[in-house]
Every structure is written in structure tokens, then in C-alpha cells.
Amino acid sequence: MGDDGSQSCPGMLYLVSTPIGNLKDISLRALEVLQAADLIAAEDTRRTRVLLQHYDIATPTTSYFDHNKERKLPQLLAKLCSGKTVALVSDAGTPGISDPAFRIVRECIVNDIQIEALPGATAFVPAVVLSGLPTDRFVFEGFLPVKKGRRKRLEELQGEVRTIVLYESPHRITRTLRDLETFLGDRQAAIARELTKKFEQVLRGSLSDLLQESMARKLKGEFVVVVAGKPK
């Protein structure tokens, strides 16, 4: 910030949370920001267009995802430095939560660009509160590494006393439940599936029960896995 309090880069970055399924799960302020922004940087422009069309928002979009961020970041920073307002959205939920945003937030801080995060939908909050497991302390682990570092991460979690929250994709849910049971023991857990969508479901039980269920029914959709911490 300049001596007179002015920003060296006069633009503004908004991190806008978008629905994780139900299109109504968006705040009035988020809609206003998306409407008023000069540009929406979206992880998947086609998916974001569905939301924008639903709310009759015609703001131009550009893509910003993990594999083009090195190229796109300077362009977005240039827009912000020229005084534009950019709204960043991910495919679903809160940008920065297992979704791209970290790099641009860091660069905005370095370049003295104002940032605001609009609170809103994110998958782990409804999952942890619906799990029935203690919510006074929990740890968000995002996705377990698929290959390198997976074992180490699972070993690190063995002594974790807080409730553990993980994201998982449909084709790895069975493997992850099996690994969790092997490394953490047969603890109580919950799977929150397809939250806010038509086939929303929360399965609760021991990890071995949930593993059986997952193998028997080939569970589909998006999942949050919540596991009890190590018993004291």
C-alpha cells in the first residue's frame, strides 16, 4: 500500500463460493459480485456457464485451472493491476479448498491487490456436521495422495485424535476405505455422498461396514469421508 493508503494495484479479486450441487446454494452477494465483475475466472467455463445462465448473468468468463495457471496468472494479475474486478470460481464449492486459488491469492498478496473471499458452499462442512462424529475439533485432509506419499500420510493419521475429513472420487472410494481401515483400525466413520443433490445420502458405521457397502453397491457420485479420531 502507498504512503497515502492507495493500492499500487487498484483491482479487486473476489473468491466466490458456488453451489456443490443445488443451484440455489449461492448467496445474494455472490450473485451481485458475479454480475458486477469485469471478468469471471472459472475452473471449468462450461460448468460455470450453467450457473451464470440460471441466474441470467452475462459477465465474460475465462478459464483458470491447475494446468493453465502458470500461463493465465500473469494475464489475470495484469487485469487486476489495471483496475479490473475479477471473480474467481471453481467447479463447485469454495475456491482454494482442494481447488485452484492458492497461487493467485499469494500473488495478489505480493502485488498488494485487494482480495475478498465470499463465504458459501463447501462440501466438508455439511459432511462433518452430518457425520454424527465430534465436530469440536476436526482436521481437513483433502484428497489422500494417490501414489507417492499415500502410506506416509496414512501413517501420520494413525495418531490423530481429531475427527478426520477426506475428499474422495468415486473410483477410489473402496480403496480409500480399505486403506483407512488397515492403517487406522476399524473406527466409526461416515460417507456423505452427493450432498445437496437428488441422491444425497449419508452412510454411517464402522469403516469395515462402509467398505462392505461400497464393494456391494459400487457407490457412485462425489464423497466426503469422515473418520473418528483415535480413541483417547
SS3 26: coil
21 forms part of the interface with ligand SAM (CB under 6 A): yes
Size of the site for ligand SAM (CB under 6 A): 23
Tell me which stretch binds ligand SAM (CB under 6 A): 47-55, 107-115, 156-164, 190-198: 190-198
All cell numbers assigned to 194: 452427493
123 forms part of the interface with ligand SAM (CB under 6 A): yes
SS3 201: strand
48 forms part of the interface with ligand SAM (CB under 6 A): no
CA distance 196 to 126: 9
Q: Are the CB atoms for 56 and 127 separated by under 8 Å?
A: no
Report how far Cα 104 is from the mean position of its chain's Cα atoms: 16
Specify the residue, 98 or 208, whose C-beta has the smaller distance to ligand SAM: 98
**Of the candidate residues 222, 226, 228, 229, the single one contacting ligand SAM (CB under 6 A):** 222
AA letter at 152: K
Of residues 63 through 122, those in contact with ligand SAM by CB under 6 A are 90, 92-94, 97-99, 122
**Of the candidate residues 167, 188, 210, 228, the single one contacting ligand SAM (CB under 6 A):** 167
223 forms part of the interface with ligand SAM (CB under 6 A): yes
Tell me which stretch binds ligand SAM (CB under 6 A): 54-62, 105-113, 153-161, 192-200: 192-200
Q: Are the CB atoms for 107 and 73 separated by under 8 Å?
A: yes
Q: For the CB of residue 102, give the shortest distance to ligand SAM in the complex, in Å.
A: 12
Length, in residues, of the chain = 232
204 forms part of the interface with ligand SAM (CB under 6 A): no
Tell me which stretch binds ligand SAM (CB under 6 A): 8-16, 28-36, 68-76, 164-172: 164-172
Tell me which stretch binds ligand SAM (CB under 6 A): 62-70, 77-85, 152-160, 216-224: 216-224
In the β-sheet with 61-63, what is the strand arrangement from edge to edge?
61-63, 39-42, 85-89, 12-16, 114-118
Q: Are the CB atoms for 194 and 186 separated by under 8 Å?
A: no
CA distance 232 to 227: 15
All cell numbers assigned to 199: 441422491
Residues that bind ligand SAM (CB under 6 A): 20-21, 90, 92-94, 97-99, 122-124, 167-169, 192, 194-197, 222-224
